[in-house]
Structure 1
Amino acid sequence: MKRLKTLIATLALAAASPFASAIELIVPAYFYPSWMPSLNEWHQLSWAAQQGAQVTAIMNPWNGPGTSFNSDYAASINDLRAAGGKVIGYVYTCYGINLCTPEVPPTRSTSEVVADAQKYADWYGVDGVFLDEMATQPGALPFYQTVSNALKAAHPGWEIVGNPGVTPTAGYNALADTLMSFEGSYTDFVNGPFLAGLTNAAGTGAIVHTVMTEAQMHEVMGLAKQHGLGAIYITDGTMASGNPYLHLPSYWQAEVLAATAPVPEASQVAMLGVGLGLLALLRRRRSA
C-alpha cells in the first residue's frame, strides 16, 4: 500500500509539472477593421489574445500597406496589441524572380519590398512583416537574403514570417523567424507529405484552408501540436470562394481554445504512461 501511495504521488507531481507552450496563431486578417463593432472581426482577434492565445495578425490594407495611413486599421491594431497580440504587415515579393500575379505590377525589387515594410512601421508601429509569395529555390536566395538583412538592420526586434507555402530548399530557414511551409487544404495537410518531412518544426508554420468542420479543425490542430509546429492557422474558408481569408472561421473560438490547450512534454507523457502501467500491475497483484 505504501508503494502504491508513493507512486500515485509521483504521478500527481508529473501531471502538475510544466507543459509545452501553446502554438502561435498567425492569422491572415485580410478583412477590413470596420468602425462598427458588430462588423469588425479584429475584435475577435483581441478576444483571442485576452484568452492567452499567441495571436499574430497579418494586416493587409491593399495588397500591401496602401498609399496612406488608415485610422480604422490603427484603432484595431492598437486594441489587439493592448490585449497582448501582435501585428505584422503583408508584403508581396513575386517569388524573388518577378513572377507577380496579374493584379500587381509585373516586377518587384528588394528596395520596394523593404520600402513597403517601412510604411507599416511608420504608420502603424507593427511588430514585423509577412513576406508573401516567397520563393523556394536557390536561385532566388540572394533576393531574400538582401531583404532579410535590411529588415533585421532597420527593425532588430521584428518578427519576420515568410510564406513559401511549401518546404523551401536549404538556406531559407535562417532568413525568417517562421516559415509558413504549408499553405493548402485539409486533405493535403492530413494525407500529404508535409508533416513527415519536417526538419525544423519549431520554426515552421502552416496555413490550412477548407477545414470544413470543427472536428476536422481539432484533427489538424492535434497533428500540428503532435509534430511540434511553431505556428498554425486553420479556416473553413475555401479557394473556391476566391479568397479563403476574408473572414475568421465559423469555429474561431473553438480554434483559440484548442490552440491554448496545454500539451504535455514528451518526457511527461512517457512518465505518465509508465506510471499508469505500474499502477495496473500493482492492483492486479493485490487482487491476486
Structure 2
Amino acid sequence: MKRLKTLLATLALATAAPFASAIEIIVPAYFYPSWMPSQNEWLNLTSAASQGVQITAIMNPGNGPGAASNSDYVTAVNAFRAAGGKVLGYDYTCYGVNLCTPEVPATRSTADVLADAQRYASWYGVDGVFLDEMSTQTSALPFYQTVSSSLRSAHPGWKIVGNPGVAPAAGYTAVANTLMSFEGSYTDFVNGSFLSGLTNAASTGAIVHSVATVAQMQEVMGLARQYGLGAIYVTDGTMASSNPYLHLPSYWQAEVTAAAVPEPGQAALLAVGLALLAVLRRRRSS
C-alpha cells in the first residue's frame, strides 16, 4: 500500500501541467537592443527562445528597417535566431489605400512595401515580414495579393504575418501565413465576439494588451489554447502610453512558461507510472 501511495503521488506531479500543444508567441519587439544588458530586452527574447519555446520577434528599427543597417540590431537578431527564434521585419502598409498616419509619407505603394522587405532581408537576414496596418476590405485585397505573391517569389521560405486587428474580408487568409485578427484589450478579448466567431483558428493570432495580472494572462493563454489559436501575444502594456509594446510584460517569463508544452519526460513518466500501477493492482487482486 505504501508503494501504491508513493506511485500515485508521483503520477500527480507528472500530470500537474496540462498536455496541450505549444502556441507561438509573436512579440512586437519595438524596443531598442541596447548595448547595456540591463536595458536590452532582446536578451530576454533570446533566453526564451533558448528554452525551446516558439518565439517570433517583430523588429522595428525606425517605423520600418530605417535608413541603414544598425549594428546593435544585427547583433541582437543574430543571437536571437541562433537561439532558435524567428524574426519578422515591421512593414507598414497604410491599409492598402494610402491611409497613412501623419508620421509617415502620405502614400505607400506596393513597391515601397517590397523595398523595405528587401532591406530587412539584406541587412538582417530576417525570416519574414509583419504587414502592419493591413486592410480588411475587399477593395484593398489586390494590393496585398501583389505584395504577397512578390514576397513569396523573392523569398520562398519567408513567413508573412498580417495585422488587420479584426477579422478581414474573405480572401485575406491566402495572402499571409498568419493573420493577427485581434488587437485589443483584455476585456474585449475575454468578453467580445472574436473567439466565438473564429474561422481558420490555426492561422489566426491575437495581440492582447492591458492584461494587468499573471492570472489574467493565464486566462487569455488558456482561451487561446481552447479555441486553437496559432499565435498570441499578451502584455500588461496599456494604451495610456500610446504604445503598449515599448517593453516586454512584467510577467514575461510566466507567459513563456504558459506557452510551452510539458517536457517529454513528463509524458514518459506518466506512461510508465500507469503501467506500474496496473501491475500493482493485479498483484493485490491475485
TM-score range, shorter chain: 0.7 to 0.9
Distance in 2, Cα, partners of 1:189 & 1:261: 23
Give 3-state SS (helix, strand or coil) of 1:195's partner: coil
Q: Deviations over 1:203-227 (max 9, x none)?
A: 0000000000110000000000010
**What is aligned with 1:97?**
97
Give the alignment's TM-score, normalised by structure 2: 0.85
Give 3-state SS (helix, strand or coil) of 1:99's partner: coil
**What is aligned with 1:116?**
116
**What is aligned with 2:48?**
48
Distance in 2, Cα, partners of 1:230 & 1:182: 12
Q: Is 1:215 aligned to residue 215 of structure 2?
A: yes
Letter in 1 for 2:33: P
Distance in 1, Cα, partners of 2:114 & 2:124: 15
Distance in 1, Cα, partners of 2:51 & 2:227: 24
**What is aligned with 1:106?**
106
**What is aligned with 1:22?**
22
Distance in 1, Cα, partners of 2:217 & 2:154: 38
**What is aligned with 2:231?**
231
**What is aligned with 2:159?**
159
Report the alpha carbon displacement of residue 262 of structure 1 after superposing the two structures with TM: 4.3
Report the alpha carbon displacement of residue 40 of structure 1 after superposing the two structures with TM: 0.3
Matches within 5 A, 1:235-250: 235-250=235-250
Q: Deviations over 1:158-189 (max 9, x none)?
A: 00000000000100001000000000000000
Matches within 5 A, 1:121-140: 121-140=121-140
Give 3-state SS (helix, strand or coil) of 2:45's partner: helix
**What is aligned with 2:187?**
187
Identity of aligned residues (%): 77
Contact 2:20 2:261 in 1 (8 A): no
Give 3-state SS (helix, strand or coil) of 1:27's partner: strand
Which stretches in structure 1 are left out of the alignment for 5+ residues?
A: 1-7, 264-288
Report the alpha carbon displacement of residue 21 of structure 1 after superposing the two structures with TM: 3.0
Give 3-state SS (helix, strand or coil) of 2:183's partner: strand
Give 3-state SS (helix, strand or coil) of 2:199's partner: coil
Letter in 2 for 1:192: G
Q: Deviations over 1:91-130 (max 9, x none)?
A: 0000000111111111100000000000000000000000
Q: Deviations over 1:25-71 (max 9, x none)?
A: 00000000001111100000011111111000000000000000000
Give 3-state SS (helix, strand or coil) of 2:152's partner: helix
Give 3-state SS (helix, strand or coil) of 1:25's partner: strand
Give 3-state SS (helix, strand or coil) of 2:80's partner: helix
Give the alignment's TM-score, normalised by structure 1: 0.85
Distance in 2, Cα, partners of 1:134 & 1:195: 20
Give 3-state SS (helix, strand or coil) of 1:63's partner: coil
Contact 2:19 2:261 in 1 (8 A): no
Q: Deviations over 1:4-42 (max 9, x none)?
A: xxxx9xx99xx8xx9553000000000000011111000
Distance in 2, Cα, partners of 1:37 & 1:71: 15
Q: CA RMSD in A?
A: 2.3
**What is aligned with 1:256?**
256
Letter in 2 for 1:147: V
Give 3-state SS (helix, strand or coil) of 1:197's partner: coil
Letter in 2 for 1:223: L
**What is aligned with 2:86?**
86
Aligned length, in residue pairs: 255
**What is aligned with 2:36?**
36
Matches within 5 A, 1:55-74: 55-74=55-74
Distance in 1, Cα, partners of 2:131 & 2:262: 30
Contact 2:211 2:234 in 1 (8 A): yes
Give 3-state SS (helix, strand or coil) of 2:196's partner: helix
Which stretches in structure 2 are left out of the alignment for 5+ residues?
A: 1-7, 264-286
Distance in 1, Cα, partners of 2:76 & 2:37: 10
Letter in 2 for 1:250: S
Distance in 2, Cα, partners of 1:142 & 1:167: 17
